[in-house]
Each structure stands twice: as structure tokens, then as C-alpha cells.
């Protein structure tokens, strides 16, 4: 198969599972919360909660409905991700393969008024800032966090707002996502989507119907043009 080349006005990245890996911390945080909410099934949650906002997961799995408590517990959960990620020999929060190369090209083009890329994450802004700092990933001016939208992934809101912050039509954007809920969000926003096989099986990713599928960011090359981005998907 030949390589595939696409040109878009902007790239919209998910964070966890796409740019950084915080798996050890997420597992640790859910294990911590199982002490407070003993009825939760951590293994079941880990297989289905990825890519969804913390507040939505805590509503769904811990039964928290009080908005004040929900906000407090979401903050506690995300702090637990950071603190447990490197415990017991854990790797901490790290960059995923191919991200270094992509950021060398993209980092200089992350600023307003015309950023060529955004991060659209289901994490809160405070946790996302800590995670990106820990993994040494630059933070773009165009940044969408959990609290910036009324409805998180799989609804289109995060990626619609990401495209808006980049000043481009979402139909002229490509979304990089590892979670089925995030791929569905990108599709619903009208973007092209590239599904990464970093956290879910090929079957699960295919089920979300991305435009393209790659192993991880190492399977793509990115080149910034004056007002667009060229992406080569290597066969």
C-alpha cells in the first residue's frame, strides 16, 4: 500500500492515549476511589471509561450527583492520577511514540492568531497542564479542556470548539484520537479522524469508524505549510 497524504487547515489532538500515556496513574486513581466507593468495578471501568470527562465518569460509576461534591472529587481523582503514576516503579506520565517528532515540527506553530493545532481533552485544565508538563509536551494556545464545554465526548462540542479556536472549518481539520468516544466526537464534528491503537483493540477502534487507523503517532509524518498542515500516513 502506498502512503496516504492529506492536507488540512488544523490538527486537533486528544491528549491521554494520543500524546501522553498516563495509564499507570489512571489505574492508581481508580484503585484509590474504590476505597471510597467500594461498589465500583475497576476493571470494567478501565475498559470503558477512557476518553470521557472525569465528571461524567464519576457520575456514571460512583453515583455522585451533587455538583459541588462532583467538582471536588474530580479534582481529587485527577490529582491522584499524577501522584500515583510514578508510584511502585510506575513510568509516570510519558510521551507516546512519535510525539517528539511531531512536536518538533508543530511547536513553533502553536500560537494565536493562527495556530495550526489544538489539544481537545476530556481532562480538566489543571490536570492537563500538569500531565503535559510532566511529559514535556508544549501547550498550544488553542486548548479545550473538560470545563470548556457543556457536553464532552462523544458529543462534537470539544472538537467544534477546537476548530473555532484555530479559526478554521471543522471539516478542514483532522482529529487524532485513541478512544472510541473521542473518534465519535471528531466524526460528529465533521472532521476527518485518525484512530490510534494505543489503548483499545483494532476492533474497538474500527467500531467507532475513523477515517484512518494507525498504530500510533510514529506512523505519521507532519509538515507545516504556510497556512495548513500536511500529514503523511505511512503504510
Cis bond upstream, residue 113 (ω within 30): yes
Work out the number of other CB atoms within 10 angstroms of the CB of residue 62: 19
Residue ranges per structural domain of the chain: 4-21+93-233, 23-89
The answer regarding whether domain 4-21+93-233 maps to CATH 3.90.420.10 reads no
C-alpha span between 222 and 5 (Å, rounded): 10
pLDDT 10s digit of each residue in the chain, 235 long?
A: 799 999 999 999 999 999 999 988 988 999 999 999 998 998 889 888 888 899 999 999 999 999 999 999 999 999 999 899 888 777 889 999 999 999 999 999 999 999 999 999 999 999 999 999 999 999 999 999 999 999 999 999 999 999 999 999 999 999 999 999 999 999 999 999 999 999 999 999 999 999 999 999 999 999 999 999 999 999 9
Residue 164 burial (10 A CB sphere; 0-12, 13-18, 19+):
middle
pLDDT of residue 51: 86
pLDDT at 50: 85
- How many residues are listed for the chain in this entry? 235
Give the architecture-level CATH label for domain 23-89: Orthogonal Bundle (1.10)
Residues forming the active site = 14, 16
Q: What is the DSSP string of 26-87?
A: HHHHHHHHHHHSTT--HHHHHHH-TTS-HHHHHHHHH----HHHHHHHHHHHHHHHHHHTTG
Got the DSSP string for 137-199? -PPPSSEE-GGG-SS-TTSSHHHHHHHHHHTS-GGGEEEEESSHHHHHHHHHTT-EEEEE-SS
Amino acid at each position: 500500500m502506498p502512503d496516504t497524504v492529506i492536507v488540512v487547515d488544523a490538527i486537533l489532538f486528544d491528549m491521554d492515549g494520543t500524546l501522553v500515556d498516563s495509564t499507570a496513574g489512571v489505574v492508581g486513581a481508580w484503585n484509590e476511589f474504590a476505597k471510597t466507593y467500594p461498589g465500583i468495578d475497576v476493571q470494567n471501568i478501565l475498559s470503558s471509561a477512557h476518553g470521557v470527562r472525569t465528571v461524567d465518569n464519576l457520575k456514571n460509576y460512583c453515583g455522585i450527583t451533587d455538583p459541588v461534591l462532583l467538582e471536588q472529587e474530580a479534582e481529587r481523582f485527577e490529582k491522584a492520577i499524577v501522584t500515583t503514576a510514578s508510584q511502585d516503579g510506575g513510568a509516570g506520565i510519558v510521551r507516546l511514540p512519535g510525539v517528539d517528532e511531531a512536536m518538533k515540527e508543530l511547536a513553533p506553530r502553536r500560537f494565536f492568531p493562527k495556530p495550526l493545532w489544538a489539544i481537545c481533552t476530556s481532562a480538566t485544565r489543571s490536570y492537563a497542564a500538569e500531565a503535559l508538563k510532566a511529559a514535556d509536551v508544549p501547550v498550544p494556545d488553542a486548548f479545550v479542556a473538560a470545563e470548556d464545554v457543556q457536553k464532552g465526548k462523544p458529543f462534537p462540542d470539544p472538537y467544534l470548539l477546537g476548530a473555532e479556536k484555530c479559526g478554521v472549518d471543522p471539516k478542514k481539520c483532522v482529529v487524532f484520537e485513541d478512544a472510541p468516544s473521542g473518534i465519535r466526537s471528531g466524526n460528529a464534528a465533521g472532521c476527518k479522524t485518525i484512530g490510534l491503537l494505543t489503548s483499545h483493540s483494532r476492533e474497538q477502534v474500527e467500531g467507532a469508524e475513523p477515517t484512518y487507523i494507525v498504530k500510533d503517532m510514529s506512523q505519521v509524518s507532519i509538515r507545516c505549510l504556510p497556512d495548513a498542515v500536511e500529514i503523511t500516513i505511512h503504510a
